[in-house]
């Protein structure tokens, strides 16, 4: 099995990848330049998903273990598409899959590797979805094709990356954090399609406040193309 390439939090690269996967050109990723209200006002609406890149740290690991313990023996929320991460470098791909898979009622998917993956993943649990993605060569190779046409090509690696992606989505009035390294989606309370960005930004600020010595945070959002 070929190893996965780590993804940068770069909307241009992400958008090329989404197009290659079969996502309609009507939707794109954009940078969120700040998490305060004046900066958020510049982000096109509606926002379908928010993706946070952050540094992995012991602080995150402690919180993850605590959340996992609190969710033992609980049922995952219905109608939320969540998959577990298997390969070390695919958290960027997983974040994009989470963004699109939970918004298929808004996003037109053309015939392609992502539409096939989502069809094959119907009825599977999070672990099985993750294993299926690991074996979805077309999805992983599509990203390699894009980065290999760029000016800089990251090296393939089986080492644990130092950064990690998570996705925030709205589903049935609730803000969910979708993290491939966690067993369940994390419920962050009520939200609406209109307030998703602001509510997700609040959680992103909490991530930053927990780890103030780190600067490797970046936020992008899935929005309509202009």
Residue pair 137/92 in contact (Cβ under 8 Å)? The answer is no
Catalytic residue (choose from 91, 98, 170, 204)? 91
Give me the residue spans of the domains in the chain. 11-224
* Second CATH level (architecture) for the domain 11-224: 3-Layer(aba) Sandwich (3.40)
Burial of 162 (0-12, 13-18, 19+ CB in 10 A): exposed
pLDDT-derived band of residue 4, with 50, 70 and 90 as boundaries? low
Single out the residue of 54, 141, 129, 67 nearest to residue 97, CA to CA. 129
Categorize the per-residue pLDDT at 161 as very low, low, confident or very high, splitting at 50, 70 and 90.
low
At 150 the pLDDT is 58
pLDDT digits (tens, 9 = 90+) for 192-217: 999 999 999 999 999 999 999 888 89
Prediction pTM value: 0.93
Short-list 141, 39, 42, CA closest to 93: 141
Q: Count, in order, helices (H) and strands (E) of the chain.
A: 8, 6
Q: Please say if 91 is a catalytic residue.
A: yes
Whether 188 is a known active-site residue: answer no
Residue 88 has pLDDT above 70, yes or no: yes
Single out the catalytic residue among 98, 164, 170, 204.
Answer: 164
């Amino acid at each position: 099995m070929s190893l996965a390439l780590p993804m940068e939090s770069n909307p241009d690269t992400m958008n090329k990848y989404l197009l290659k996967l079969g996502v309609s050109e009507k939707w794109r990723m954009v940078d969120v330049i700040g998490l305060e209200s004046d900066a958020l006002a510049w982000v096109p609406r509606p926002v379908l998903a928010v993706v946070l890149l952050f540094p992995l740290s012991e602080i995150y690991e402690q919180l993850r273990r605590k959340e996992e313990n609190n969710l033992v023996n609980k049922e995952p929320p219905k109608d939320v598409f969540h998959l577990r991460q298997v390969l070390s470098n695919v958290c960027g791909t997983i974040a994009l899959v989470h963004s699109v898979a939970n918004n298929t009622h808004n996003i037109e998917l053309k015939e392609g590797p992502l539409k096939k993956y989502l069809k094959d993943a119907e009825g599977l649990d999070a672990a099985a979805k993750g294993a299926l993605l690991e074996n979805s060569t077309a999805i992983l190779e599509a990203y390699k094709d894009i980065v290999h046409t760029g000016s800089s090509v990251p090296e393939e690696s089986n080492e644990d990356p130092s950064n990690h992606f998570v996705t925030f989505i709205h589903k049935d009035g609730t803000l969910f954090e979708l993290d491939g390294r966690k067993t369940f989606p994390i419920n962050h309370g009520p939200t609406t399609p209109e307030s998703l960005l602001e509510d997700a930004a609040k959680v992103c600020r909490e991530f930053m406040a927990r780890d103030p010595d780190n600067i490797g945070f970046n936020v992008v959002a899935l929005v309509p193309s202009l």
